[in-house]
Amino acid sequence: MFEQHLLVLPIVLPLIAAPICILLMKSHLAWVFATIISGLSFFISVDLLFATLEQGVLNYAVGGWESPWGIELRIDAASAIVLSVVTGISTLVLVYAKESIAKEIDSSRHTLFYSAHLLCLTGLSGILITGDAFNLFVFLEISSLSTYTLVSLASDKRCLTAAFRYLVMGTIGATFILIGVGMMYMKTGTLNMLDLANRIAEYDGNRTINTGLAFILVGVSIKLALFPLHMWLPPAYTHAPSAVSAFLASTATKVAVYVMIRFIFTIYGAEYVFFTMDMDIILMVLAIVAIFKCSFMATVQSNIKTVLAYSSVAQIGYMILGISLVSSTGLMAGLLHVFNHALMKGALFMAVGAVFYRIGSVDIKAFQGLGKQMPLTMAAFAIAGLSIIGVPLTAGFVSKWYLVTAAIEQQHWIVAFLVLIGSLLAVVYIGRILEAAYFKKPSELTEGKTIKEAPILMLIPMWILVIANIYFGIDTSLSVTAADTAAQWLTQSIPEPFVSIPSVVTEETIK
C-alpha cells in the first residue's frame, strides 16, 4: 500500500524543510520553499483523507517496530479531516504571509518565521498522525514551542509578554498531560493508544486512571483554551503577527480539540468518561459559559483582533459542547465545526491582517468607511463574519444546524436554545464591525488618505477561504460525510441507548 508510506510524510517533510529554510538566507526563497513543502503536505493529507474514507484506518510502524512496542502512526477519518484543514490553512497562510510579514516582522527574522512555521506544522501534523500517547506529548511541545516563538516575532513589544504568558500556561498544560500519560503508563504499562484503550477497560474505576484522566483533561483544556483556562489566548492572538494569528486560530486550538476527542473517545472510551466520571455535564456547562462570556467579551472590545480572539474562545465552546452531548451527531457537529471554524477564522484574521497592512492599526476606528476603500477585503470579512454568525448558505450554518439537532435529539432543549441565542451575540460583534466599515464616515486614522486594496497575494488566500466557506455551506457532502464517518467510528464505544438516531433520514421516513 503506497498510502501507508505516505503517512509519515506530513511529519517528515516540514521537519526536514524547517532548518533548510534558515539556510536559504533569502526571505523570498524561504517563502517559495516553505509554501511548496506545505502545499505538498496538503496534497498528501487530502489523499490520506480519501484513503481513510474508503479503507478506514491506515497505520505505519515507525522504524519497522510493530505496535505496541514501537511508535505507531495511525490515521483515521477524524485525524485526516483535521490534518487536511491544518495543512491546507498552513499553505494558504504561507502564501498570504509574504506580504503580511513584510509589514509586521523585522526583515532579518523572515527566514526564522518560515522555519518556525514549518516546525509548528510538523508538531501539529505529528499530533494528528501519531498513535502513541507519549509521542503525542512530544509533538504537542514541538508545535507549542514554535508557536511561542511565532507569537513573539511581531514588532509590537506587547507580543513578548503575551508570548511569555502563553509559554507559562502552555507548559503547565503540557506538563499536566505528561503527568496524565505517566499515570496511565503506571497502571497499564503501555503507551500505544489502542493498547491503552484495551487495558484501561480492565481497570474500571481505578483511582490512578481517574486521576490521570483529570490531569489530561485539564492539560488539554489549557491547550485548547476552554473557559476558564483561556486567559492566554486573547493576548497571544491579539499581539501576534496577523499571519500567525490566522494560522493559530484556525489550526492550533483545533488540533487541541482533536487531542481531547482522541483521549476521551479512543483511549478512555466515552462510556467511562461520560457515564462513570460524568464529565459531560462539566464540559457542557463550561462550554455554554464560554459561549456566552466570551461572545459578550467580544462585543465590548475595540481591537478587532481581540474581538476575533474572544470569538475563537466562544467558538471552541461550540466544539466542546458538541463533544459533551455524547452522541454521534454531537461529535459530528463538533468535528464539523472544527473544520468550518478553521475556514471562517482564517479568512477573518487574514482580512484583519490586510487592514493592518494598509492602515497600520486594527482598532475598530481603522475599519470606519473601509467598505468603499477596501471593498474586496471587507466583502471577505463580511462573508466570513456571516459564517461565524451561522447565516444559511455558509459553512457556519451547517455546523450550527447539526449542533442544535444533536442537542434536541438528546432532549437538551435549553442547550439548543442557548446555542441559538449565543449566535445572536455573534450578530452583535460582527455587526458592529460591519456597521463601522459600511455605514460610518472614515475616522481620523484614515481620513483624507487614499487607501488601496490589499495586495493580490493577500487577497487570493483570503478569498479561497471565503469561497470555501460558501462552498461548504452549500455542498456539504464532503465535509458532512467525513465528519459523520469519523464520528461513527469514534462513538462505537457509546452504549446503545445513547447513540442517537441516524442523522441521515431515509426515504421511508419522508414518505
Partner 1 sequence: MSFIIDYYNYWIVVFLMMAGFYIVISANNLVKKVVGLNIFQTSVFMMYISIGKVTNGSAPIVAEGITTYSNPLPHVLILTAIVVGVATTAVGLALIVRIKRAYGTVEENEFKDKDDLI
Partner 2 sequence: MNIWSALEPSLLINLTIIVPLIGAALVVLLGKYPNLRETASILIAIILFTLVLSITDNVFNQVEMATTWVTLLPGLDIAFSVEPLGVVFALVASFLWIITTIYAIGYMRGHNEDNQTRFFCCFALSISTVMAICFSDNLLTLFIFYELLTLSTYPLVTHAGTEDAKRGGRVYLGILLSTSIAFLLFAILGTWVSAGTLQFTPGGVFSDAQSDGLLALLLVLFCYGIGKAALMPFHRWLPAAMVAPTPVSSLLHAVAVVKAGVFSILKVIIYIFGIDNLSEIATTDVMLYIATATVLFSSCVAMTKDNLKARLAYSTVSQLSYIVVGALLASSVAAAGATFHIVTHAVGKITLFFCAGAIMVAAHKKNVSEMAGLGRKMPITMAAFAIGALSIIGLPPMAGTWSKWYLIVGALETDKLIIVAVLTISSLLNVAYLLPIPIKAFFHAIKPNSANQQSTNQPLQPWSWSETKEAPLPSLIAIGITSTACVVLFFYPQPILDLINLIPGVSTSVKGQS
Residues that bind partner 1 (CB under 8 A): 134, 137-138, 141, 145, 148-149, 152, 157-158, 160-165, 167-168, 171-172, 174-175, 178-179, 182, 185-186, 189, 191, 234-235, 238, 301, 303, 306
Quote the least distance from Cβ 306 to partner 1, whole Å: 6
Least CB distance to partner 1 at residue 111 (A)? 17
Shortest CB 488 distance to partner 2, Å: 13
375 contributes a contact to partner 2 by CB under 8 A? no
- Cβ-count burial 18-48 (b if 16+ within 10 Å, e if not): bebbeebeebeebbebbbebbbbbbebbebb
Tell me whether residue 178 or residue 343 sits nearer to partner 1 (CB atom): 178
Q: What distances in angstroms separate CA 413 from CA 248, 332, 366, 403, 408, one per listed residue?
A: 33, 19, 41, 12, 5
Q: Cell 498510502 appears where?
A: 3
Task: By CB under 8 A, tell whether 405 contacts partner 2.
Answer: yes
- Which triple of cell numbers denotes residue 202? 480492565
Closer residue to partner 1 (CB): 1 or 12 = 12
Q: Indicate whether 416 belongs to the interface with partner 2 (CB under 8 A).
A: yes
DSSP conformational letter for 107: G
Which residue has 502545499 as its cell numbers?
39
**Alpha helices in 105-229, H assignment, sequence order:** 110-129, 133-151, 158-188, 193-202, 207-223
Find the shortest distance in angstroms from Cβ 114 to partner 1.
18
Select 28 or 158, whichever has its Cβ closest to partner 1.
158
CB of residue 439 to partner 2, shortest distance in Å = 6
Which of partner 2, partner 1, none lies near 439, with the C-beta cut-off 5 to 8 A by kind? Answer: partner 2
To the nearest whole angstrom, how small is the minimum distance from the Cβ of residue 392 to partner 2?
4
In the complex, minimum distance from the CB of residue 341 to partner 2, in angstroms, rounded to a whole number:
18
Q: In the range 82-121, which residues lie near partner 2 by CB under 8 A?
A: none
Task: Please choose, from the candidates 324, 323, 288, 294, the residue with its C-alpha nearest in 3D space to the C-alpha of residue 311.
Answer: 294
Residue 423 engages partner 2 in binding (rule: CB under 8 A):
yes
Question: What is the DSSP track for 308-376?
Answer: HHHHHHHHHHHHHHHHHT-SHHHHHHHHHHHHHHHHHHHHHHHHHHHHHHHHS--BGGGGTTHHHHSHH
Q: Which partner, partner 2, partner 1, none, binds residue 162 by CB below 5 to 8 Å per kind?
A: partner 1
Percent of the chain as helix, strand, coil, to the nearest 5: 80, 5, 20
Q: How far apart are CA 196 and CA 217, in angstroms?
A: 16
391 near partner 2 (CB under 8 A): yes
CB of 423 to partner 2, least distance (A): 6
Please return the burial class of 109, using the count of CB atoms within 10 Å of its CB with bins 0-12, 13-18 and 19+: middle
Among residues 255 and 283, whose Cβ is nearest to partner 1? 255
> Would you give the binding string for partner 2 spanning residues 445-484, x where CB under 8 A is met?
-----------------------------xxxx--x----
**Range 291-294 contact pairs with CB under 8 angstroms and sequence separation of 24 or more:** 291/317, 291/318, 291/321, 291/418, 291/419, 291/422, 291/425, 292/418, 292/422, 292/425, 293/227, 294/227, 294/230
Name which of partner 1, partner 2, none residue 424 binds, using a CB cut-off of 5 to 8 Å depending on partner kind. Answer: partner 2
Contacting range for partner 2; rule: CB under 8 A; set: 18-26, 98-106, 366-374, 503-511: 503-511
Q: Which residues bind partner 2 (CB under 8 A)?
A: 390-393, 398, 401-402, 404-405, 408-409, 413, 416-417, 420-421, 423-424, 427, 431, 435, 439, 474-477, 480, 503-505, 509-510
